[in-house]
C-alpha cells in the first residue's frame, strides 16, 4: 500500500503513490458492491481523481492530447 494512503481517507501526493493507487484500483476492479474492498476502490478512485486535478500531467491524462 502506498505511503499516505489510509483505508478511510486516501491521500495521494506523489507520482509513485498515484501509480500504486492505479494498480490497487485495478486489483480491486471485481470487488462486490458494499464490501470493504469496494469501498476502498471507490475511495482510491476519488483520491486518484483529486491527484489528477492537482497534477495535469501526461501520466494522469493519457487519453488527452498533449
- Residue-wise pLDDT for 43-53, tens only, equals 999 999 999 98
d(CA 37, CA 60) in angstroms, rounded, equals: 23
From residue 5, give the alpha-carbon distance in Å to each of 12, 24, 44, 64, 66.
Answer: 7, 11, 8, 26, 29
* pLDDT at residue number 56: 75
Looking at residue 58, its pLDDT comes to 58
Domain ranges of the chain: 15-54
The residues that bridge with 5 in the sheet, in sequence order, are 10
The tens digit of pLDDT for each residue in 7-65 reads 566 899 999 999 999 999 999 999 999 999 999 999 999 999 999 988 876 555 555 54
45 burial (CB, 10 Å; 0-12 / 13-18 / 19+) is middle
Amino acid at each position: 500500500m502506498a505511503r499516505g494512503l489510509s483505508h478511510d481517507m486516501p491521500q495521494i501526493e506523489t507520482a509513485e503513490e498515484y501509480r500504486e493507487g492505479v494498480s490497487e484500483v485495478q486489483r480491486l476492479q471485481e470487488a462486490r458492491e458494499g464490501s470493504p474492498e469496494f469501498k476502498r476502490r471507490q475511495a482510491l478512485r476519488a483520491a486518484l481523481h483529486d491527484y489528477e486535478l492537482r497534477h495535469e500531467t501526461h501520466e494522469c491524462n493519457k487519453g488527452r492530447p498533449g
